[in-house]
Amino acid sequence: MMLLSHPAVAALCALFVWWFSTGVVLYIVGRRDLNTRWGLAGAGALFAASLYGLARSATDPSVVGAYAAFTCAVLLWGTQEFGFLTGIVTGPRNRACPENCVGWRRAALAVEAIIYHEIALVLSGVAVIAVTWKADNQFGAWTFLLLWAMRVSAKLNLFAGVPVLNHEFLPTPVEHLASYFTRKPVSLFFPVAVTAATAITTLLVAKALTGDASAFETTGYTLLASLMALGVLEHWFMVLPLPIAALWSWGMRSRTADVGAAAASMAPDSVPNVITKLPES
């Protein structure tokens, strides 16, 4: 138990859960045979199981309870990401932003493209808070709220403008959302968001390492601080031109498989009447 409560172990756990859950979501949404009804049913079941796990872990102020609450919150968040990246829960607008659309009109269209997902996140947050209300272990609720805050910040920065868009992470059902991103030097919002997130991370580290913190508090606050640090890192990924897709190459591989299957279905022996005409020069 003492090993699990060590800050280094908790930080490594948060890093692994963040990396692995992201890769799993990317893999599933890239598989057309998994992101249909069966995928939706699985996501619904995982959402219910995660919410139940949050309710149970909320009454367990122990090191194991902190890990359980954190993991359940991340899993629940993953179900929301599944709904979004598969295009099942996005918004009523499923088209690209018109050219030369700027200002409040562009902002309104961007909101229209993702509003259902934003509402789903708010309702999920309400459910998380409801099942953990006034319980001894609030780390699950805080995990979900921090994930939500950092995701909102990332979306606002992508809309306002950043040098690196990383749009390769968007699968086909939502690739039109890239048209609402802006590639340009960072706006004033970026340093404000990163500074605020860094300050919160620092406060969480201080809470984790304070002398009178219990093993439960050290573990929980370390998990939260690590999550915030990863959120700050994700923000810097929008500025630094790094090949971050390589971190999840195994998760992105499912899209390559789908492309290969689609190409095979268009092979000459299966579609003999297809004639490819090159554009005239």
Mean pLDDT of the chain: 87
CB count in 10 Å sphere of residue 253: 14
pLDDT of residue 84 exceeding 90, the answer is yes
The stretch 201-223 carries a mean pLDDT of: 94
Give the pLDDT confidence score for residue 281 in this predicted structure.
Answer: 35
pTM (global) more than 0.85: yes
The stretch 273-277 carries a mean pLDDT of: 37
8 Cβ contact partners less than 8 Å away, ≥ 6 residues apart: none
Cβ atoms of 86 and 165 within 8 Å: the answer is: no
Amino acid identity at 181: F
Tell me the two tokens of residue 105. Answer: 């009109």
Share of the chain above pLDDT 70, in %: 89
Cβ atoms of 156 and 190 within 8 Å: the answer is: no
Asked whether residue 270 is domain-assigned, the answer is no
43 Cβ contact partners less than 8 Å away, ≥ 6 residues apart: 79, 82, 83
Asked whether residue 70 is domain-assigned, the answer is yes
Give the pLDDT confidence score for residue 108 in this predicted structure.
Answer: 95
More confident residue, 3 or 91: 91
Asked whether residue 256 is domain-assigned, the answer is no
Least confident stretch, 13-17, 50-54, 58-62, 102-106 = 102-106
CA 210 to chain CA centroid, nearest Å:
30
Asked whether residue 272 is domain-assigned, the answer is no
3-state secondary structure string across 32-54: CCCCCHHHHHHHHHHHHHHHHHH
Asked whether residue 135 is domain-assigned, the answer is yes
Share of the chain above pLDDT 90, in %: 67
Give the pLDDT confidence score for residue 34 in this predicted structure.
Answer: 61
Q: Give how many domains the chain has, as a whole number.
A: 1
Asked whether residue 258 is domain-assigned, the answer is no
| Domain extent for 207 | 7-240
Asked whether residue 86 is domain-assigned, the answer is yes
pLDDT tens per residue across span 106-151: 999 999 999 999 999 999 999 999 999 999 999 999 999 999 999 9
Distance between CA atoms of 174 and 171, rounded to whole angstroms?
6
Residue with tokens 């690590």: 226
Give the pLDDT confidence score for residue 272 in this predicted structure.
Answer: 39
Asked whether residue 81 is domain-assigned, the answer is yes
